[in-house]
Amino acid sequence: MLKRRRFWITLIVILLLAGAGGYYYWTTTAVSAPVTEQAAIQTAVVRQGDLTISATGAGTIVPAAQIDLGFATSGTLVELPVTVGQKVQAGDLLARIDDTNLQEALTNAQLQLAQATMQTDASATQVGVSYDDISVEQATLNLELAQTALDDLVNWEPDPDAVALAEANLASAKASLQAASGQEAATGYSNQVSQISLEQAQRALDNAQAAYDTAFDPGREWETFYNERICLQGQGGAVPCTGQKFSERIASERASAESGLQRAQESLQIAQANYNAAIATGNRSSSTNARTSVLSAEQALAAAQTGPTDEAIEAAQVSVRQAELSLKQAQLNKEANGLSLQQAQLNVAAAEAALSEASLLAPVDGTVLAINADVGENAGTAVLITLADLERPLVEIYIDESDLDKVGLGFEVDATFDALPDDTFTGTITQVDPQLSVVNGVTAIRALVHLNADSFSKPQTLPIGLNATVEVIGGRATNALLVPVEALREISPGEYALFVMENDEPKLTFVEVGLMDFTFAEIKSGVQAGDIVTTGVIETQ
């Protein structure tokens, strides 16, 4: 830097000497030329003052945050406790739709959860055991019993006591068979006698029925009215008939026939009963059961002597395998019911969430901007309520793209609203869009300005859409040393110098320049207030 300054100083000195030499040559050799008036060098005084670099644009009040709210499902709007312009706090009820069906769905989900819990969660039951625990334990016991039975068959050895008992049972069964066979023979003879008696009683009944039919023959009705005595054949007319009368005889025959028929019927019933009793007794004493008992006893003796068959062992192995599968099935069912419990829990959570969504709550503090339905109307999934944050005034501004260097995050802004011309609001740029916007065919920079609450002349809420004229402060220097921009000499990019008058002679002085607009430049070092600097031949203020 020092070498560069020396280079420029040397160059300027050479140029000044060359100019002085030229001037001397011109005055000494060209005296014959016409004399013209030399332009006077203009100067300016270094003074203290304020310098502001700014860009002007237009702006509009917008909400700091705006949320469009609606229901997740449609339903009839039954409650709407807010109005447009009302301030609400986070958690306040904004609207509610009819939740009858959602309440029922939650109740059903809770019941299903209770059932699923009892199925698999022992802590949820009064007895301290779940259905799945019972199923698994029962399947475990069945497997243990089946395995024990299989082990008994595989490890079988003859039991002398069991063999002796089987032999005794066989002997007893054979004795019972012999007794049953003897009884069956005696019973057979008794059955024959009863059958003969039954046949005799049937014949006696047939005879009694024939006598009855004869006595009550309609052709003999005349005898009931004939009271003459019956004369024996061969007695002749001289011998009087002293025998029984015809009416008496027919009455006696009929009474005897009725009595005989009744006795024959009763005798047949008695004979039939005796025959039936004999047959029944013969069935009870049949040797069939006794033979079955003998066969069973023989099989039991053979089993006690020879042990289980291969078929029995295979059947026991199948039973064990089935019991193992049943246990695994019970365990799988327990796992599946655990998943069902989780699903039931999710269903309850979903039903609770759906029920909570029937009430529209304010997610943040704000002011109600718009309501798009009334109580009794159907509230769908479209926007029902618009909520905005109006407590933090925000201005959306547009600045011409030529002033891009004067717009940045943190830059100060002065805003004057058309509706409040006497008030100046201050703020800070909090957002600059990375992409230029086109407004009415003009390319502009869009930015957001957060107004300072302490800059308000009185507590007030600025309505959305309020128009403003904004001035973005790209830089501000207060009580700074200022010189006209014409006094600056740019030695190299970013390096400047001034000609300061000393003893009526201009002296080149390097300076540090701060802010600069089209008129003045801030001098941070190199000169002092009151110094006189040259501005060329242009008159400055």
Q: 9-18, 98-107, 229-238, 250-259: which range is least confident on average?
A: 9-18
Could you tell me if 531 and 401 lie in one domain?
yes
* 476 and 381 within one domain: no
Q: Where are the alpha helices (DSSP H) in 357-471?
A: none
Same domain, 127 and 56: no
**Cα distance between residue 36 and residue 247, in whole Å:** 206
Residue 393 has pLDDT above 70, yes or no: yes
How confident is the model at residue 467, as a pLDDT? 93
Whose tokens are 């958690």? That residue is 91
Average pLDDT over residues 475-495: 89
Domain assignment of residue 97, yes or no? no
Give the mean pLDDT of 500-509: 90
Q: State the CB neighbour count (10 A cutoff) for residue 155.
A: 7
Give the pLDDT mean for 497-506: 90
Do residues 413 and 501 share a domain? Answer: yes
Residues 45 and 32 in one domain: no
- The answer to whether 476 touches 71, Cβ cutoff 8 Å, is no
Question: Do residue 118 and residue 221 come from a single domain?
Answer: no
pLDDT at residue 346, rounded to an integer: 94
CATH number at 480 reads: 2.40.30.170
Q: Are 46 and 134 in a shared domain? A: no
Q: Is the pLDDT of residue 2 over 50?
A: no
Question: Are 60 and 418 spatial neighbours (Cβ–Cβ below 8 Å)?
Answer: no
Most confident of 173-187, 247-261, 316-330, 456-470: 316-330
Residue 453 banded pLDDT, cuts 50, 70, 90:
confident
State pLDDT tens for residues 120-167.
887 777 778 888 888 988 999 999 999 998 888 888 888 788 778 878
Please give the tally of structural domains in the chain: 5
First-to-last C-alpha distance (Å) of the chain: 33
Residue 241 — pLDDT band, cuts 50, 70, 90?
Answer: low
Domain containing residue 21: 1-38
CA Rg value for the chain: 67
Lowest model confidence (mean pLDDT) among 35-39, 220-224, 344-348, 436-440: 35-39
pLDDT band at 347 (very low <50, low <70, confident <90, very high): very high
| Phi, psi angle pair for 189, to nearest 5° | -65, -45
pLDDT in tens, 400-417: 988 888 888 988 898 999
Among the listed residues 493, 491, 488, 490, the one whose alpha carbon sits nearest the alpha carbon of residue 527 = 488
Q: How confident is the prediction for the chain on average, in pLDDT? A: 81
Do 378 and 413 fall into the same domain?
A: no
Residue 226 lies in a domain: yes
Residues 268 and 124 reside in one and the same domain: no
Reported as a single tens digit per residue, the pLDDT across 190-206 is: 777 888 888 888 988 89
Same domain as 124, residue 12: no
Q: Are 525 and 29 in contact (CB under 8 A)?
A: no
**Are residues 465 and 484 both part of a single domain?**
yes
CA distance 17 to 239: 222
458 and 524 in a common domain:
yes
